[in-house]
Structure 1
């Protein structure tokens, strides 16, 4: 591992174990790279959303998974949760400055995914034909 790489990970040190110099990067990528987190960040990049608006906008996410995702993103400082004292309570979510700094990277990943989804689908088909007994999905 390069010295520069170790210096970057040393700044994060979530696990602090010397034998895991990449754990800082892994920890952050685990959160930011999670499919639901990416979709929440993409949705919030357009502005503040209520919980139900997020749930409707993100196809396939359950209420429980959305709750866990926004809580994790809030814990990591990427999303701000605001509760308004109404009956029933209204809750909104928005990206923090830190979360907003991710949007250009997430957008690039989303754009790349859209541009190459057909290539990836073709590669998967070719692989499946060449390896009929595989269990990779």
Structure 2
């Protein structure tokens, strides 16, 4: 019975992780931010096939989960920059490994 509880706890933890970074575009956004802060329009250009609505949705989710920070500058039109938090930066080794795996087995 103890093994069953551990298995369920692991599954729950994995599901929580996927809720935070498992969106279709989340890893692409995080990967783009590994090189430093980016403006919204830069992210749109760096991530092929993402539409504005989905980029906004993913960024809001990641901001709510402490993965990215959003900084707004009082310009006309407003300038918005996104950066990874320390929590987001800690994803780099894992995402790089997934990227290498994908190049070997998927791409």
1:110 corresponds to 2:76: no
SS of the residue aligned with 1:59?
coil
Structure 1 unmatched runs, 5+: 10-20, 119-137
Please give the residue correspondences for 1:1-137 in structure 2 after superposition, counting only pairs within 5 Å. 2=3, 9=9, 22-117=11-106
After superposition, the C-alpha distances for 1:87-134 in whole angstroms (9 at most, x for unaligned) are: 11100000000000001101110111011125xxxxxxxxxxxxxxxx
| Higher Cα radius of gyration | 1
Shift of 1:5: 5.5
After superposition, the C-alpha distances for 1:18-41 in whole angstroms (9 at most, x for unaligned) are: xxx733430222331223000000
SS of the residue aligned with 1:80?
strand
Cα RMSD over matched residues?
1.9
Bigger relative contact order (CA 8 A; separation at least 6): 2
- TM-score, length-normalised on structure 1? 0.69
Shift of 1:4: 5.3
Aligned residues: 105
Structure 2 unmatched runs, 5+: none
Between the aligned partners of 1:88 and 1:34, the Cα distance in structure 2 is: 29
Between the aligned partners of 1:90 and 1:103, the Cα distance in structure 2 is: 26
- TM-score, length-normalised on structure 2? 0.87
